[in-house]
């Protein structure tokens, strides 16, 4: 799922291309994309883009007349900038937004259609789409602490809860927790003041660094190749690969369609966190420490 750094770079690229330009028309490739009935999409024809912004993980196009188009890419939605009037690509094409200088297309890989488009009128209607999470790059230390400790969750869940913090998903949460040297399963209620500040700084640094890196990689072009698995990530998507800090094999917990990647030496004091399905399968053979894991790997060789 595109997260704060990815969406921020999308927003910047769109701002350069459509700010001040009229939207000529919207073409829908799938009627299921549009989640609202009023105002109609026809109401946006000819209106100029006054602002392009981010609302959590959503891209917001603001038009004159206090109208807004809000795109939520969900897991597999991606944006592309094409020549004016470009055709929607096959089954993956969900929508095209035609401007005088080019066409913004929305595609979604796979068969499940999760991406969403909302057309809304007025600031109050736009605010209703906000899940309420704190913007992590703008948060003061006190505001961050209050948001993080509002409910008692694991750190991975707290970081990815849009009601608490905006724009963070599973990929960058893994990177943040590795930077902070904290376990993804640690409960927020058990954090001391130093760990809360450690986590806040990791959130700020990881998101800022990756936003700048993606901005630099785009090089002024429209960002393509948006993915949750990027070269240069420390742990996310690097199961069994060496941690860049200590060389220990990165471990993974899988729950339903979600995965959490972590370094057991850097983050859990050498403990291997239980992956329920594998732990049930291996029973007594499930390694509980880095040393047991490495001994098991050696026997397998």
How confident is the model at residue 280, as a pLDDT?
47
Give tens-digit pLDDT for 49-95: 999 999 999 999 999 999 999 999 999 999 999 999 999 988 899 99
Give tens-digit pLDDT for 100-146: 999 999 999 988 889 999 999 999 999 999 999 999 999 999 999 99
Tell me the mean pLDDT in the region 272-298: 62
Q: Answer whether residue 99 shows pLDDT above 80.
A: yes
- The strand pair at 116-121 and 67-72 is best described as antiparallel
Instruction: Specify the pTM.
Output: 0.91
Note whether 116 and 148 are same-domain residues.
no
Residue 170: give its domain's CATH number: 1.10.8.50
* Three-class SS state of 83: coil
Q: In what order do the strands lie in the sheet with 67-72?
A: 49-55, 58-63, 67-72, 116-121
Per the domain annotation, does 28 fall within a domain? yes
Per the domain annotation, does 227 fall within a domain? no
Note whether 31 and 114 are same-domain residues.
yes
Residue 213 buriedness (CB in 10 A; 0-12 / 13-18 / 19+): middle
Note whether 33 and 88 are same-domain residues.
yes
- Chain-centroid distance, C-alpha 42: 30
**259: closest CA among 133, 144, 146, 173?**
173
Report the distance separating Cα 259 and Cα 54, nearest Å.
26
Q: In what order do the strands lie in the sheet with 25-28?
A: 25-28, 93-99, 102-108, 77-82
**Which one of 218, 234, 249 terminates a domain?**
218
Which residue range(s) make up the domain with 191?
A: 141-218
Note whether 93 and 154 are same-domain residues.
no
Contact between residue 154 and residue 185 where contact means Cβ atoms under 8 Å apart: yes
Please count the structural domains in the chain: 2
* Three-class SS state of 247: coil
Residue 9: give its domain's CATH number: 3.20.190.10
Instruction: Count the Cβ atoms, other than its own, within 10 Å of residue 166.
Output: 24
How confident is the model at residue 276, as a pLDDT?
53
Q: Answer whether residue 293 shows pLDDT above 80.
A: no
Q: What tokens were used for 90?
A: 């096959």
Q: What tokens were used for 155?
A: 């750190």
**Which one of 164, 186, 218 terminates a domain?**
218
Q: Phi/psi at 288 (nearest 5 deg)?
A: -105, -10
Report the distance separating Cα 88 and Cα 155, nearest Å.
40
Note whether 85 and 193 are same-domain residues.
no
Q: What tokens were used for 295?
A: 């001994």
**Which one of 218, 245, 263 terminates a domain?**
218
123: alpha, beta or left, given left = phi > 0 and alpha = psi -120 to 50? Answer: alpha
DSSP lists the bridge partners of residue 71 as 59, 117
């Amino acid at each position: 799922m595109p997260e704060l750094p990815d969406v921020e770079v999308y927003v910047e690229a769109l701002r350069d291309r459509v700010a001040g330009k009229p939207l000529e028309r919207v073409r829908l490739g799938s009627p299921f994309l549009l989640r609202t009935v009023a105002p109609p999409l026809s109401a946006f024809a000819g209106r100029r883009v006054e602002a392009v912004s981010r609302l959590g993980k959503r891209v917001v196009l603001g038009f004159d007349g206090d109208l807004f188009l809000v795109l939520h890419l969900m897991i597999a939605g991606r944006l592309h900038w094409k020549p004016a009037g470009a055709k929607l690509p096959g089954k993956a094409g969900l929508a095209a937004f035609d401007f005088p200088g080019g066409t913004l297309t929305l595609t979604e890989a796979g068969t499940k259609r999760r991406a969403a488009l909302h057309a809304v009128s007025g600031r109050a209607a736009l605010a209703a789409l906000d899940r309420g999470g704190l913007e992590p790059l703008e948060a003061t230390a006190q505001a961050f602490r209050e948001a993080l400790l509002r409910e008692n969750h694991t750190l991975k869940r707290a970081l990815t809860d849009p009601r608490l913090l905006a724009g963070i998903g599973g990929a960058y949460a893994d990177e943040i927790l590795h930077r902070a040297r904290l376990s993804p399963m640690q409960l927020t209620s058990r954090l001391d003041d130093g760990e809360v500040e450690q986590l806040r700084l990791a959130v700020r640094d990881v998101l800022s660094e990756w936003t700048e890196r993606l901005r630099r990689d785009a090089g002024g072009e429209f960002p393509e190749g948006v993915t949750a698995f990027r070269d240069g990530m420390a742990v996310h998507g690097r199961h069994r690969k060496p941690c860049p800090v200590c060389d220990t094999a990165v471990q993974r917990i899988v729950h339903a369609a979600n995965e959490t990647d972590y370094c057991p030496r850097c983050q859990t004091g050498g403990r291997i966190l239980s992956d329920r399905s594998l732990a049930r399968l291996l029973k007594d053979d499930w390694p509980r420490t880095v040393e047991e894991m490495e001994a098991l790997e050696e026997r397998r060789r």
